Amino acid sequence: MDLTYDVIRSAKRKKLTITVERDRSVVIHAPVSMTDEAVREAVESKRQWLYSKLQHPQKYKNKPAPPGKEVVNGESALYLGTEYKIEIIETQSGTIEFDQRFLVPRARESRRREVLRDWYIDRAQGIIIPRVVQCAHELGVTFTTVRVVDNRYRWGSCTVNDNINFNWRLVKAPMPVIDYVIVHELAHLIESNHTPRFWSIIRAKIPNMARAKAWLKDNGQTLEEDL
């Protein structure tokens, strides 16, 4: 079996790391000073580990992709781990309102999916960013910036410049799962690789880490739907 991978180099990176994404793509992050031969040797040394990763479901169980939901009366949408009904009505604000159900204004009928997606992104920024600030303070780490982004195949990422990014779709997950992903990325500011120390850092902050990981494994593909 041939291994194909993308190499991303950075002047600030001091060591090589290998990541298998949820779409089974392999990404190598390497220092600019590392030769192609050294990268190849590092990948070869991890070949059996990579095969084991590539032959198993990534992050969540394989299942047929759910059909995209329609923003219509009677349909439901996921928010913080719970499904809420959608109602198409005349809202006073003219925008989406939330009151134990999604109230979608008739005036935005032609753009219902877009305005609901924008609502999710706005809520994700309002929920995730303050939690990142709080968790970073509790862990005693500092980051450069934190952003909510559109990245279907990653829940979060930590760059070599200490920038933290989170997928807006996370706001559909329960708060304990969101906290797990936040702490996971912040822990990379202490330990860059997934070492035993790395997992110990997360477990100390998120005792129910295994449950959160299992939830993402079971529900990740559903979260990745725009709605």
Give the pLDDT of residue 108: 64
The one-letter amino acid at 47: R
Which pLDDT band holds residue 136 (cuts at 50, 70, 90)? Answer: very high
Please tell me the total count of domains within the chain.
Answer: 2
Q: Is there a single domain that holds both residue 193 and residue 100?
A: yes
Give the pLDDT of residue 65: 47
CA 70 distance to own-chain centroid: 24
Residue 60 lies in a domain: no
Distance, in Å, from the CA atom of 91 to the CA atom of 114, rounded to the nearest integer, reads 17
Q: What's phi and psi for 171, nearest 5 deg?
A: -65, -10
Residue 103 has pLDDT above 90, yes or no: no
Q: Is there a single domain that holds both residue 15 and residue 117?
A: no
Q: Is there a single domain that holds both residue 127 and residue 167?
A: yes
Distance, in Å, from the CA atom of 152 to the CA atom of 174, rounded to the nearest integer, reads 18
Residue 162 lies in a domain: yes
CA 80 distance to own-chain centroid: 14
Mean pLDDT calculated for residue range 116-140: 95
Q: Is there a single domain that holds both residue 110 and residue 21?
A: no
pLDDT in tens, 177-206: 999 999 999 999 998 888 899 999 999 999
Neighbouring residues of 69: CB distance < 8 A, sequence distance ≥ 6: 75, 76, 77, 225, 227
Which pLDDT band holds residue 87 (cuts at 50, 70, 90)? Answer: confident
Q: What CATH number is associated with residue 130?
A: 3.30.2010.10
Q: Is there a single domain that holds both residue 92 and residue 134?
A: yes
Q: Which domain holds residue 188?
A: 76-223
Of residues 17 and 149, more confidently modeled = 149
Distance, in Å, from the CA atom of 28 to the CA atom of 16, rounded to the nearest integer, reads 7
